[in-house]
Amino acid sequence: MAELKPEDLINFGKKAINVATKKGANEAEAFLSEILSTTVNIERGQIAKNMRKKDQGLGIRVVCNKSVGFSYTNVLTDKSIEQTAIEAFHTAKASKPDKNWGGFSSPKRFSSTQNAYDKKLVALSSDELVEIASIMLNEAASFDNRVFVAEGSVETHVSSRTVVNSYGVEAFDEGTRIDCGLATIAREGQEVTPICQEFNAERVYKIDPKWIGKEAAKKAISSLKARKIESGDLTVVFDQVALYLLLYFTFINAIKADQVQRKQSALEGKIGEKIASELVTIYDDGLMANGLQTWKFDCEGVPCQKTPIIEKGVLRHYLYDCYTANKDGVQSTGNALRAGFGAQYMLTPIIQATNFTLTSGSKSPEDLIKDVDNGILVQFLQGAHSSNPSSGEFSVVATPAWKIEKGEIAYAVKGAMLAGRIFDVLNNVSALGNNMRKIEQLVAPWITSEKVRVIGK
């Protein structure tokens, strides 16, 4: 992709490891990441900004007597890499031993991935991205004069990850991605709708900017004339975005092995138990074709894999990285990710889901709605990040949302809150759609859950 070739990156990694082991480290692991992104931003109804970002760097984990040090740099020269490895060695020396430390990964064969890299995306010029953004924008703006485009963007990424460690792992993989999204509101008289969004996110060049523009506008218009509703236990149809927000901040945390081991998870000791409706089957598939989180290996150089999480409502497996797998005497599931504030090379691994897939049902979205007598359709949850990741409790605003009465969308709902526990929502799933869609870590259809507490007036 960028100036650096895979062998250059691997050599930088090897260099760092050699310095650390020569100093006296027991083991060492280098991680390198590069990212090149191009973005066109839409602001206040017009194309306003065009950005290109380039960043690359190296992070090295060094272990001395089971105590872990880490250092990183974004200056990729021999001298700087040497200093970084030495710094990591010193921080390991300054730190405290961890009796559960189980070592870095050993070399394994990686499966190949499909549709995770597209040359066409790499070749897209900023002029072409501006054109895509214009199509999206014009489609939304011409749909209805009450629609206002608040913001939007078209963004391509090319990125790579490299893992090298002192056990002989030498791994390089690269991927592409395109994201197009538009956020709209509609205004009529004194009424302003909440933000309504539509998007495409793909690993290959397969997008439909016209559709995005039109759908984002349509959603905003249908959010007008919103009314408050009475409180009650209602049937709720969750769109994928709403479901993603809910699962990401609750359930996905509860199946991370570190949270389970540290007694933070309500699912501790529940493997083999029924924890969700029989309709619910979930697996985490790090190798899914065209998956947004698909890579050959994770951020510790462990092969990505497909891991069953829930089968017909029964909990099967937690998500592991090397450290937690060693503690439980099992194999890592390849779920180590470097994520948080800053670039990947600045970070040490945490456990995260890859393509967390809730398997499809057979009903069309229209049929899901048709089956609801008294309920709401929810497309976004405001405040999902304030949920309790431990207990799975949430208390959020459903917006935009629509009231469903006797099998039909009746009107937009204003300011309704949903409250409950994620485990109850999963237990009360009564129907699954057939409209699979991916958003960040989630791949899922619309789902219907019964008796969700809705607080209205």
Partner 1 sequence: MKDELTRIIDSGQKLGAEYVEVRAQRLFRTVITSKDSRIEVVRKGIENGAAIRVLVNGAWGFASNGTLEPKQLMDSVSEACRMAKAASLRVKEPAKLADIKTIEARVTIKPKANPKEVPTEKKINMLLAEDKIIFDCDKNVKSCTINYLDISGTNYFANSDKTYIEQDKLYLYLSTVVWAREADKLALGSDVVGYTTGFEVFETETPEKIGRRAAMRSLDQLKAKTPKGGTYPAIIGPQIIGVFAHEAFGHLAEADLTLAGSVLIDKLGKKVGSEIVNIVDDGTIEGAIGTYKYDDEGVPAQKTPLIKNGEIVGLMHNRETAQKYGTKPTGNARAEDFRYEPIIRQRNTYFTKGDRSFEEMLEDIKLGYYIKNYRGGQANLDGTFQVGVQEAHEIVNGELGASVRNVSFSGNTLETLYRVDAVGKDFELNVGVCGKGQAAFCGAGGPHTRVKEVLIGGGA
Q: Scanning residues 238 to 297, which ones bind partner 1 (CB under 8 A)?
A: 258, 262-264, 266
Q: How far is CA 206 from the centre of its chain?
A: 20
Closer by beta carbon to partner 1, 142 or else 362? 142
Scanning 193-201, 281-289, 306-314, 328-336 for contacts with partner 1 by CB under 8 A, the matching segment is 193-201
Q: Which of 123, 121, 11 is nearest to 58 (CA)?
A: 11
**Site map (CB under 8 A) of partner 1, residues 122-161, x = contact:** ---xxx--x--xx-------------x-xx----------
- Amino acid symbol at 349: P
What's the min distance (Å) between Cβ of 342 and partner 1?
8
Closer by beta carbon to partner 1, 51 or else 289? 51
Closer by beta carbon to partner 1, 74 or else 435? 74
Closer by beta carbon to partner 1, 374 or else 388? 388
Count the site residues for partner 1 by CB under 8 A: 92
Calpha distance 142→140 (Å, rounded): 6
12 binds partner 1, rule: CB under 8 A = no
Calpha distance 33→214 (Å, rounded): 37
What's the min distance (Å) between Cβ of 399 and partner 1?
6
Residues 424-453, interacting with partner 1 (CB under 8 A): 424, 453
Calpha distance 185→218 (Å, rounded): 10
What's the min distance (Å) between Cβ of 214 and partner 1?
19
Closer by beta carbon to partner 1, 84 or else 355? 84
Cβ atoms within 10 Å, residue 2: 15
Residues 16-75, interacting with partner 1 (CB under 8 A): 38, 40, 43-44, 46-57, 59, 61, 67-75
Scanning 102-110, 191-199, 312-320, 405-413 for contacts with partner 1 by CB under 8 A, the matching segment is 191-199
Residue 350 has phi, psi (to 5 degrees) of: -130, 165
Q: Are 270 and 331 in contact (CB under 8 A)?
A: no
When binding is defined by CB under 8 A, the residue of 420, 425, 426, 443 that contacts partner 1 is 420
Residues 156-185, interacting with partner 1 (CB under 8 A): 185
Q: Are 445 and 361 in contact (CB under 8 A)?
A: yes
Closer by beta carbon to partner 1, 55 or else 367? 55
When binding is defined by CB under 8 A, the residue of 4, 122, 192, 410 that contacts partner 1 is 192
**Site map (CB under 8 A) of partner 1, residues 84-123, x = contact:** x--xx-xxx-xxx-x-x-----------------------
What's the min distance (Å) between Cβ of 341 and partner 1?
5
